[in-house]
Structure 1
Amino acid sequence: MLKKQTVVLLLILAIVGSSALTLFVSKDHSFATSPGAGILASGGSNGLKQEEAKKLGTALDLIEGNYYQDVDRTKLVDGAINGMMQSLEDPYSSYMGKQTAKEFEESIEGSFSGIGAEVSSDNGNVMVVSPIKGSPAEKAGIRAKDIILSVNGQSLQGLELNEAVAKIRGPKGSEAKVSVKRTGTASPIEFVIVRDDVDLETVKAHMEPGKIGVIEITQFSLNTGERFKSELTKLEQQDMKGLVIDVRNNPGGVLSVVIDIADQFVPQGKVIVQVEDKDKKRDKNVSKGKGKSYPVTLLMNKGSASASEILAGALQQSAGAKLMGENSFGKGTVQTSFEKQLGDGSLLKITIAKWLTPNGSWIHKKGIKPDIAVSQPDYFSVAPINKKVSLQYNTNNSDVKNAQIMLDGLGFKPGRKDGFFDQKTTTAVKEFQSSEKLKVTGIIDAKTAESLESALIKAIRDPKRDNQMKSGIEEVRKEIAASASNK
């Protein structure tokens, strides 16, 4: 029996299916810093050569005339375009049909249906780039680098990305049984996910004691820049002394938006980001802002991708901010979409350039290292327990290890976290069962496992358990104190 997650996972995947929000150049924004130097191309000018058009047309005619069943001509043409995109071997370049393209545009605007995560195609696998901070996907335990193996028993391996996403989609309220492969776990992890719609608020802010502001950015949508500026102004009007910016599990977004946000912190004349095209020509975006007098710390993790990494690099190298948390994802390319040229509502999303940090580093597939490394407790990333088999005294496997990590994180001390179910683990299970008013057996059956996971999710949501956030706030507090002592 698969576990129904205690939080609803939202799986229609507009942001996810298009793998679009890593770093997107909006259609009305040219990156150029000088007249005529735009990095954003408008498309090719020659199209197919006569012999190429003849070859493709002949292939189409041969298929239609000789295939043993009737064929869908539109499907064949779309398949040819998909084939071209796949031949690029670039997980961030893709073709989208009319409906997928519509959902993609909605996701760029900040309102979409999905789990609150992004996926890309990686060697024939559907890989999670990042669950968005605070999203149902993150709360349920979906992690960056997870591989989605199957949905409702249908394998996704080897499928074109949009085809794979189509199998994940479904009517609101329906369930999807999702199997996930995670590095470090021997067996696939299974979830039962309830599909639904989600409306994303990309910016959240609050003030901590000591006048330390905190702003979380879950992705860089078209409205994120205005929301960020508004929340920052409110905090500054409350006499804010320092700021923590949280881009953990932020998969990226619109290039112009992250530039506008960085511009508020990077002093005038300093570089925010560089973009290099296929001809090795670089455009530098230089700040027009004045910078800030208060200390700034940025929190990131392995789910912080692309536009989040641009912000991290700009603040670290050009604004003197501290980066804290974990190494970032490592996505250093820029995409844009072309839909008017195709004329039927479909679009091509194409990687047009790579971006570099102010000092010229290309972080692709490497990420950015934090100035101060801070990990979360081990129970933040523990895998769910397999509910098909009960765990009891003398059992020794990875599910017992996961249960021990959960028990320890919740304050019930099993005495070990190596996967061997000993007498002390039995006692810890009994104590947990008693606290949850479950039948006290010392055996982890499906009901006890579900209760364990439910209690853990609630614990993880407690800000007091967030080591990275606490460390970020403390670092800002130290810098405020140091600045005051130097005056």
Structure 2
Amino acid sequence: MNIHGSQAVRQRKRLMMGLALIAVCAIGFAGGRFWVYVQNPIMDDPGFRNLSFAYDEIMDDYLEGADSRSLVNGAIEGMVGSLGDPYSVYLTEAKGEQFIQSYEDHFVGIGVTIREQDGEFVIEEAIKDAPAEKAGLKTGDVMLKVDGTPMKGMTLDKLMTLVRGQEGTEVKLQIRREGLAEPLELPVVRGAVPVHTVSFAMKEDGIGTIAINRFADKTGDEFDKAIEALQAKGMKKLLLDLRSNPGGLLEPTIHIANRFVPKGKTIVQVVYKGEKRIITHKSEQKEPWKLPVAILVDGNTASSAEVLTAALKDTAGAVVIGEQTFGKGIVQQFRQLADGSVLKLTEAQWRSPDGQWIHKKGIEPTRVVKAPAYTQLPRLPVGLKLQEGDYGERVETAQQMLQVLGYITGEPPGIYNADTIKAVKAFQLSEGIPANGILNDRTAYRITTRLMEKYRAEDPQMLTAMEELRAAAAEE
């Protein structure tokens, strides 16, 4: 037996196995790198090396130090922003959570709407059945402290942060109420606050009106309940108000369209990049809709609201009253990431049932009816204090508002003069507020409120739509 020869053979085997193992590892490493590049093509882009270099340099050498999460979020925001698309956005963490919650049927809080007025925070509305109303808060209450923190000098965003919290926790509010000598201390337990996107009412002549302010998760269910309630009251005609509706989710829009669009007819076509995928939504109507329908639209009717308008105009015989719509004919998908951040990205565009693209074009009404010019006046900003000698756009806007209400005659001069002081004092006296002739937040709020009431009373688009519905019913 050759012992030395046997040892040599074993050594060669070990060497070959070692080389084979190295080769397998090398192949595995190369394959792994290849797979990483396939899965993450950004790593093969020269620009990514610049990004990686900048990240390392900032983290290692930036004088003030940096937070890695903030750097990455900033890079993603910049990347999405470079698309030049106002509808594609990256919302980081808390902003992403708020975006998702905006489509839900409730949020956690105390349930009040608040306005700033002359350096104070006034409760404009205590939402029905929400925690604040149950705790005794009322419209007009002034918030002085939140959990002992004074509101003086506070921003509205900071106030909202203090009020928000976990469901079931308590927040202590100190408020000033007109007619009471001392402030009130009211504990409020945070809870679910309902969010409603649909409102309805029965008008004369059997005209049921339904207003949708946006399309959220439960909008379809709310709409069904509104229809049922109006039908129970004997509705004979339907007026659908989509003015200033910015759109929202497509699913509830399709749900509502199913009620009106004849079964099997196209509601909308969603067309993806390069037409690689086209989704056609067809009506699944359960029973024919027989009542006349009119739709109110304006320049702020957009997106999903335009989908519904186009579908009912093209296939359900609805008459459309108002002004040309906004023209947002593209579709965003949004995805929430593990940390709560949201990527909202434009991925498709849509065609109306008759095959029209409406992006940047809008939908032309059946009958054009303009809103009064005063509805286009800009809002008066918070922190207002206009007085004798002031001039500029804000003064001119306030004068135009007072002119519409009948307190100023002739062409507004644009200067806060003696006639303006007289007009403001007259308005303040009619409202029962201190008549000092100075236009502050409180006076501006009352002026805006009276303008809104005037518009609701003489709304030409609403009145025209009701005339159309009466005429349609008479022809049947």
Q: Which residue does 2:474 correspond to in 1?
A: 481
CA pair 174-410 structure 1, distance change in 2 beyond 3 A: farther
- 1:278-317 alignment to 2 at 5 Å? 278-281=273-276, 282-289=278-285, 290-317=287-314
The alignment partner of 1:337 has SS state of strand
CA pair 470-96 structure 1, distance change in 2 beyond 3 A: same
CA pair 381-454 structure 1, distance change in 2 beyond 3 A: farther
Partners of 2:424 and 2:438 within 8 A in 1 = no
Q: Which residue does 2:326 correspond to in 1?
A: 329
Whichever structure has more helix as a proportion of its residues is 2
Partners of 2:388 and 2:417 within 8 A in 1 = no
Select which of 156, 160, 172 maps to 2:160: 172
- Partners of 2:367 and 2:330 lie apart in 1 by 26
Partners of 2:104 and 2:195 within 8 A in 1 = no
- Partners of 1:319 and 1:368 lie apart in 2 by 16
- Partners of 1:79 and 1:232 lie apart in 2 by 46
TM-superposition CA deviations, 1:364-406 (whole Å, max 9, x none): 22222222222232333323558444257xx985445433432
AA at the equivalent of 2:323: E
1:277 aligns with 2:269: no
Q: Which residue does 2:459 correspond to in 1?
A: 466
AA at the equivalent of 2:453: R
Partners of 1:103 and 1:112 within 8 A in 2 = no
- 1:364-375 alignment to 2 at 5 Å? 364-375=359-370
The alignment partner of 1:170 has SS state of helix
CA pair 227-439 structure 1, distance change in 2 beyond 3 A: closer
AA at the equivalent of 2:315: S
Aligned residue-pair number? 366
AA at the equivalent of 1:480: A
Select which of 66, 74, 78 maps to 1:79: 74
Q: Which residue does 1:222 correspond to in 2?
A: 217
TM-superposition CA deviations, 1:421-464 (whole Å, max 9, x none): 899877755643543456778xx5225x8435414413413632
TM-score (norm 1): 0.66
Q: Which stretch has the larger CA shift, 418-427 or 375-384?
A: 418-427
Partners of 2:387 and 2:416 within 8 A in 1 = no
Matched residues, percent identical? 36
1:457 aligns with 2:446: no
Q: Which has more radius of gyration?
A: 2
CA pair 80-296 structure 1, distance change in 2 beyond 3 A: same
- Ranked by relative contact order (alpha carbons within 8 Å, sequence separation 6 or more), the top structure is 1
Select which of 84, 89, 98 maps to 1:94: 89
TM-score (norm 2): 0.67
AA at the equivalent of 2:325: S
- Deviating above 6 A after TM superposition, structure 1's stretches of 4 or more consecutive aligned residues are 113-116, 420-427, 438-441
- 1:85-484 alignment to 2 at 5 Å? 85-112=80-107, 169-172=157-160, 199-281=194-276, 282-289=278-285, 290-339=287-336, 342-384=337-379, 387-391=384-388, 398-412=393-407, 414-417=409-412, 419=414, 431-436=426-431, 444-447=437-440, 450-451=442-443, 453-461=445-453, 463-483=456-476
Q: CA deviation at 1:273?
A: 0.8
Q: Which residue does 1:47 correspond to in 2?
A: 40
CA pair 307-391 structure 1, distance change in 2 beyond 3 A: farther
- Partners of 2:398 and 2:96 lie apart in 1 by 42
AA at the equivalent of 1:317: D
AA at the equivalent of 2:159: P
Q: Which runs of 5+ in 1 are unaligned?
A: 1-43, 117-133, 137-166, 176-195
Partners of 1:396 and 1:420 within 8 A in 2 = yes
Q: CA deviation at 1:94?
A: 1.7
